[in-house]
Amino acid sequence: MQKTYVLDTNVLLHSPQALLAFGDNKIVIPEVVLEELDDFKKRNNELGANARAVARKIEALCGKGKLSEGVPLENGGILKIEMNHYDVEMPPAWDVLSPDNRIIQVCKGLSASGEKVFLVTKDIFERIKADVLDVVAQDFLHDRAPHIDEQYKGRIDLYTQTENLASFFNEGKSINPKDTKYYEKGKLEGVQPDLVSNQFVILHSNSNYKQTALGRFDGKKIVSLNFLKEIPFGVVPRNVGQRFMQEALYANANQAPLVIVKGPAGTAKTFYSLAVGLHKMLEEYPRRFRKILVCRPNVKLDEEIGFLPGTEEDKISPLMRPIRDNLQILLDSDEERRYANERELEDKVEELFERKIIKTEAIAFLRGRSIVKQWVIIDEAQNLTPKQVKSIITRAGKGTKIILLGDPEQIDHPFLDSRTNGLCYASERMKGSPLCYQLTMLEDECERSNLAAEGAKRM
């Protein structure tokens, strides 16, 4: 039996491709959704771009028949604009002029006429209201990552013979994955690991768990890390995760143009990315990068920056305060005297911006650009949509290194979660790519403060 999927406005704003995501079934768009899309089309952000993209897709179907009766889609499905079912009874207290209530009313009407109806919406409260009226509702799952506990971590613990570990550690000899074992939690028997390209490895001795070495799977074998002895801008790695992160960041931009680092607050994701970036810009000659470009999403659905006075950088400066906090620490390593002269410290930070070593931009203004030979840090990437992340990654020109950072547990975007955000989407889609290094920092690798570490574990 053909299914009927009624799409909410937020699904189309999230992904215009949703029109083709339901196979050869029937897609219904209530007329109120068109009205809402019309309100968004003039916005100069991703939501406006998506609204216009949906409008173009629907307009292209107009010549294939009457939209009010249903027109065929290229994937074998049918698209219909629903104008009826105003007579369907709704709870007296519910405002029938509300777009959400009108969409649910259409679902009830279609269901009463014998169709197998599913409401697709990213609005949790609308799904709850639909359930109250016995309407089956679901989230849009097309670009959804696995559950956060099942997502790719970019790192793995393996066990090998002591002699293999010794030759790996002392002589730098590579190890064949067939000579290692992976032990699943709760299992006594080890299995041969199924590694993916650029996965980081903690090698343990079979006879002594505490004897370890760090490596990376290059697609064929486990090799030693190349940048363990580096001290970027005076920063020394304090844990295994930071050593892996240092390896990923130091790797040549042609070899690893994309780095994805997920993890809880306080694990030094932004701090380390800035440290290596400053090292590349100020301490390596010849310079391989023109500048450090830092972007953070506006979590209010990436709305316009507003009517604040000043330049673009002045307007987005509130979003960039965490970046300046990290720069203050990097520019003065003396913890005892760092804040003795606040004005002098701020002048040092400001000099980096005046010399164009670091530049900040709004995510919305990356669209359509080609970014060449730049060290690009996308902070708080968990608040980006999959489409935004794809747009950023495809902006990379030759010699550019893009670093996506974020914590999937701290999402402020109202229509994203730990499975639908752009950071996790990119992580899963780029898993195993020879051009991508990635890892997930652990809670016990928090270095911000004892309180930050305790909060990450308990809250």
Q: Which domains does the chain have, with CATH numbers?
A: 3-138 (3.40.50.1010), 145-224 (2.30.130), 240-458 (3.40.50.300)
In this structure, are strands 212-217 and 222-224 parallel, antiparallel, or unpaired?
antiparallel
Whole-model pTM? 0.80
Say how many CA atoms lie within 13 Å of 411 toward its Cβ: 22
pLDDT (0 to 100) of residue 387? 84
What's the angle, vertex CA 403, arms to CA 400 and CA 408, rounded to 5? Answer: 155
How does pLDDT run across 146-169, given as a tens digit for each residue?
A: 888 889 999 999 999 999 999 998
Average pLDDT, the chain: 89
Positions in the chain short of pLDDT 70: 299-316, 333-340, 367-368, 452-453, 456-457, 459
d(CA 176, CA 174): 7
How does pLDDT run across 296-317, given as a tens digit for each residue?
A: 887 543 445 455 566 666 666 7
The H-assigned helical ranges of 19-68 are 31-40, 46-59
d(CA 226, CA 229): 8
How does pLDDT run across 133-142, given as a tens digit for each residue?
A: 999 999 987 7
- Do residues 99 and 9 touch, judged by C-beta distance below 8 A? yes
SS3 label, residue 362: strand
Q: Sheet with 401-406: list strands edge to edge.
A: 358-362, 291-296, 374-378, 401-406, 258-262, 436-440
Structure tokens at 2: 């053909």
Residue 6: C-alpha distances to residues 17, 153, 304, 390 (Å): 15, 35, 30, 26
d(CA 245, CA 72): 49
pLDDT (0 to 100) of residue 414? 78
Structure tokens at 252: 């040549």
